[in-house]
Structure 1
Amino acid sequence: MDQNHSTSSILTESGTNELEIIEFHLEKQLPEGGTKRCYYGINVAKVREVIRVPETTDYPNAQPHMIGVFSSREILTPLVDLAGWLEIPKANGIQSKYVIVTDFNRMTNGFLIDNVSRIHRISWNDVESPSQFLEAGEQDCVVAVVRKEGRLIMILDFEKIIADINPELSMEKYDVTVDRSVNLNQKMVSKRNAKTVMVVDDSAFIRSLIQDTLSSAGYNIIACKDGGEAYEKLMNIKGSADAEGVPVSELINAVVTDVEMPRMDGMHLVKRLRDMEVFRDTPIVMFSSLMSDDNRHKAMSLGANDTITKPEIGRMVSMMDKYIFDLDD
């Protein structure tokens, strides 16, 4: 693979439930002196380029595992020691290594890796949730697992890594209870208490942030770890509504979904729901680190009501109010 490979020309079609991942490696130093290759992956859509290790400048009072900063296309970019953050013992020396430069959540970051292998085009159906391999928790840094040629490729939660290294930029700083733009009077909170929102995200870290924000404002939450689980739960809700002879809006009032997830991605989930009469009018908001103008256009053309980029979690409650109660955002 070209060490300066640009990914801007790689796009996946709307609602096809496919993605492209870049497979990369970290070499783990073993106690007896040998090395073991560890396989990881990242969605191509998050990658600006892969480069040789650039010249870096030390940054005062830097977070642990931040090697320094460098200039990437005139943008000051932190270089993160990925193996160090993952607590993988490694050999010294970085000159033979590479850097994956990412561009999402309106931030540019560099991650030090040992090598890049190739790009795989795969179906989200073939992307497995890590919960069967690991006990999922908020500290999990793996959001999905891909099996390729007898090896397991771990898809890392780069949002969590960046939030850990740049706590000042983290969405964890947002507190809906002190946001004066959100109506938290008892009457409005009681109205929200009667409404249920489904939150779909493969990152336990992001999922809990959205859940806490909406539930603090009064909403009931059904949480799902991927599009497949969300679709199954929505089909069960549809079955319950049919059995009780009530509209589905009596049981579910809105869906907030990520875009990239194992088993079924958010775009495909929206497409499946909008193809069904019963969910045609259910408010759906897509909440993603990859909400470019192109992705927003795709989401809206598939039937999403609106989109939010992940740093904008402060807009979440007012957006739910807008679509559930017809209130102005």
Structure 2
Amino acid sequence: MTTSSSTILTESGTNELEIIEFHLKKQLPDGGTKICYYGINVAKVREVIQVPETTDYPNAQPHMIGVFSSRDILTPLVDLGGWLGVPTPKDIDKKFVIVTDFNKMTNGFLIDSISRIHRISWNDVESPSQFLEAGEQDCVVAVVRKDENLIMILDFEKIIADINPELSMEKYDITVDRSVDLNQKMVTKRNGKTIMVVDDSAFIRSLIQDTLSSSGYNIIACKDGGEAHEKLMELQKVSEEETVPISEVINAVVTDVEMPKMDGMHLVKRLRDNEVYMKLPIVMFSSLMSEDNRIKALSLGANDTITKPEIGKIVSMMDKYIFGEE
């Protein structure tokens, strides 16, 4: 099975996506097994392959089986079941590997079986907070109900960051970034502005929020596009009732692409169709931001895009669109 990011449906603003359903076979204490259902956005998957020959990597992180060559790219192979705490059969020859390609990185994840591709609306994708209190350490960003099963959509960015901390956005420290103006005058200036941050990953949302807050900006955080749209409609009502411009209430939006209820592309489309929000600065911050997807985002009305590892650009970009600072 192979796939291409060009198949992603969220980019057209239709609020749809395709997910690949895959399974881990959990071994139970009584010797039986239980199928665990998981999913990943098709746009993040390069291909699904049989388990390749791997080479041990010195001093590797826990749950990293080894490395292999995927289209001439050195690729780590991660024991997904091991990382999730799901004990699975040891017979590696009967397993498969999902090779992912996002955040400018290629990774392989060991799974027990591949099922099929589902085309669904983001409206039918539920937030995990409806099932449990999702914190920054949670690795499930969404849940899909299919054929009486709950398919858990995993936060692969968090998994990769945990396995290879050197590549994580957590390494970014705004206080040592000389490209960001942190003098008191500029920080005070930012204190008068509010940015909405929208991301279904509590892990990523917290990183963006901390970075922008550290530079002085006020933050409104939302866990998905549906919640963001509701809050923006509430802010619009406040603006109208108090007869103040919307810029007195909200100054910019930073949004992910793939999210439950309403994806980022559809959120941008809805906002640009609303006269009040036609000129609000909107930046899309996503692991799926290929050049093709960037063009689609801009065509829907986004002002700019950032690929998720490039968190160091976000404050300067906000300064540019809010204050006209280059």
TM-score range, shorter chain: over 0.9
| Aligned counterpart, 2:64 | 66
Contact kept? 2:15, 2:262, Cα under 8 Å: yes
Question: How far apart are the structure 2 equivalents of 1:90 and 1:27?
Answer: 6
Q: Which runs of 5+ in 2 are unaligned?
A: none
| Aligned counterpart, 1:254 | 252
Residue type of the alignment partner of 2:146? K
Identity %: 82
Q: Per the alignment, in what secondary structure is the counterpart of residue 95 of structure 1?
A: helix
| Aligned counterpart, 2:158 | 160
| Aligned counterpart, 2:2 | 5
| Aligned counterpart, 1:281 | 279
| Aligned counterpart, 1:272 | 270
Q: Deviations over 1:24-83 (max 9, x none)?
A: 000000000000000000000000000000000000000000000000000000000000
Question: How far apart are the structure 1 equivalents of 2:126 and 2:3?
Answer: 27
| Aligned counterpart, 1:105 | 103
Is residue 233 from structure 1 mapped to residue 257 from structure 2 by the alignment?
A: no
CA RMSD, Structure 1 to Structure 2 (Å): 0.8
Q: CA deviation at 1:158?
A: 0.1
| Aligned counterpart, 1:148 | 146
| Aligned counterpart, 2:50 | 52
Q: CA deviation at 1:92?
A: 1.4
Is residue 174 from structure 1 mapped to residue 172 from structure 2 by the alignment?
A: yes
Structure 1 segment 1-329 matched on structure 2, within 5 A: 4-8=1-5, 10-12=7-9, 14-328=12-326
Question: How far apart are the structure 1 equivalents of 2:129 and 2:37?
Answer: 18
CA separation of 1:148 and 1:319: change in aligned 2, threshold 3 A: same
Segments ≥4 residues shifted beyond 4 Å = none
Question: How far apart are the structure 1 equivalents of 2:5 and 2:18?
Answer: 12
Question: How far apart are the structure 2 equivalents of 1:288 and 1:5?
Answer: 22
Residue type of the alignment partner of 2:36? C
Greater Cα offset, 84-93 or 48-57: 84-93
TM-score, normalization by structure 2:
0.99
Q: Which runs of 5+ in 1 are unaligned?
A: none
Equivalent residue pairs, number = 325
Q: Deviations over 1:149-174 (max 9, x none)?
A: 11100000000000000100100000
Residue type of the alignment partner of 1:139? Q
Q: CA deviation at 1:5?
A: 2.6
